[in-house]
Structure formats: C-alpha cells, structure tokens
Structure 1
Amino acid sequence: MTAHHSINYIEMPVKDISATKQFFGQVFDWEFVDYGPEYTCFTNAGIAGGFFLSEQIFDLAKGTPLVVLYSAQLEASMARIEGAGGEISKAIFSFPGGRRFHFKDPSGNEFAIWSE
C-alpha cells in the first residue's frame, strides 16, 4: 500500500547502467528490471527506484541529497563495497545515534551506510 505524501520512488543518474547493476547487485543484492538501454528499475532496496543514464553525478560537495543505507554489519558492508570496486570516500566515523561511512559507486555517486 502506498502512503499519501510519502517518498515513493527515487531516481538517480549513472554513467554506466551495466556497471551500476553489477555493483549494487553484488554488494546489496538489489534486483533490476530494464526499461530500455538507458533506464533500469531497482527493487529489494527498501524503496523502489531507478537508475538513468547521464553524465551527471551526485555528491555532497555539489550540495546534493545524501542517500543513506542501513547495515547491521558496517565493516562487512564496507569490505563488500571495496571488493566490488567501490571507493570509500569517508572512513567510518561516529555521529549521534551510531557510526557511518561514505562511498562512491562506479559512476562516482556518493552514498552513506550507517549502523547503530
């Protein structure tokens, strides 16, 4: 059931659809449905969304929103990201409520992962 006025779907730019699917599938077990060569929908991510082909990227230095994922095993998630070719852009640090780190996907988009 879709809740009125809730965030329902998110779309993100990527430079390479295939590399993005490989990375997020390998690291987070996301699943994909392609809608042509320039768009793929992702599921199994906590929220549905899509990746669209673009030369643009998002990161905090540009003032863009930060997509934050959750992990019950922060260090293991970091190792999976590095093993899949992701770049750790900010090492694990503490903040009120937990710890987190930032990483960049194969397109250079910045994400974060947090844990208690």
Structure 2
Amino acid sequence: MKSPIANRVDTIFVHVTDLKRAVEWYGRLLGAEVKGEVQSPIYTFDMGAGRPGLTLDDHRFDDIYELKPTNHPIFNLSTSDIEAAYGHVMSIGAEIASAIRHFPDLSEFSFRDPDGNVIAICTCFS
C-alpha cells in the first residue's frame, strides 16, 4: 500500500527541563559545537548528512507538559570504541543505567542525561 508518509526519520526529540543546560551537556557528550543562540523551546544538533537531527525540546509554551523519562533507551548513538565511549560518558558525570554488555553482533551500554532520559551507545559488528 502506498503511504503519504515518507520512509525516513527527520529528527529525534529529547524532552528536557532546562534547554541551555541540556544543549551544553549534549554538546559535551557529542563533541559538537553549539551553533547560534540557544532559545526556547527547541535546539537541534546536526548529526551528519543523511542522518536525523537531535532536537532538544523544553516545552516552554506547553502549560501542562510534565517530563516523564522512561526506563529504557529512547535512541542510541554509535561508537567504534565502546570502552572509550563509556569512559567519556563517565567523565561528563552521566549516571550509568547499564554497564557494557557484549553480544555476538554488538556491544552496548546505557546512561541517563541530566533529565533522566536513558540513551544507549552501541558498537555494531558486521
């Protein structure tokens, strides 16, 4: 069946309580330069050509929004060195949600951002 919805993801939304703090933290996590002025309600990190953006949203204009982080990863980031990524995440003070686990086709761990959102980092073997 043909769908009017494109088969792609344009951006991933991460809900935060303090946009400026979150942009600084995610900038350190990603090693990404913060471009332009950070203004509520959103800031989007460019994740590379052909990749979805990472949009932080503080819901400044939503009077009844309440952030409720989940206990499972909302997305994953990639690394070619899982041990170095783990050390980097620890160095920025993130709370580890699960230690590095090794599987036949990938290694991964997860951690929490300052708002409690769980993110995974994976190394995939092909």
TM-score range, shorter chain: 0.7 to 0.9
Share of identical aligned residues, percent? 24
Gaps of 5+ in 1: none
Which of 49, 56, 60 aligns to 2:54? It is 49
Q: State the TM-score, normalized to the length of structure 1.
A: 0.79
Deviation at 1:37, TM superposition (A): 2.4
Please say if 1:93 is aligned against 2:101.
Answer: yes
Number of corresponding residues = 110
The match for 1:76 is 84
Runs of 4+ more than 4 Å apart: 31-35
- Give me the whole-angstrom Cα distance separating, in 1, the residues matched to 2:104 and 2:70: 22
Distance 1:17 1:35, change over 3 A: closer
Which of 19, 23, 26 aligns to 2:25? It is 23
Give the RMSD, CA atoms, in angstroms.
2.2
- Give me the whole-angstrom Cα distance separating, in 2, the residues matched to 1:42 and 1:84: 18
Deviation at 1:36, TM superposition (A): 2.8
Q: Deviations over 1:13-44 (max 9, x none)?
A: 01221221122111212344556322111113
Q: Look at both structures and tell me which one has the larger radius of gyration over its CA atoms.
A: 2
Higher helix fraction (1 or 2): 1
- Give me the whole-angstrom Cα distance separating, in 2, the residues matched to 1:19 and 1:78: 21
Q: State the TM-score, normalized to the length of structure 2.
A: 0.74
The match for 1:114 is 122
Counterpart secondary structure, 2:84: helix
- Give me the whole-angstrom Cα distance separating, in 2, the residues matched to 1:35 and 1:28: 17
Higher strand fraction (1 or 2): 1
Gaps of 5+ in 2: 1-5, 60-65
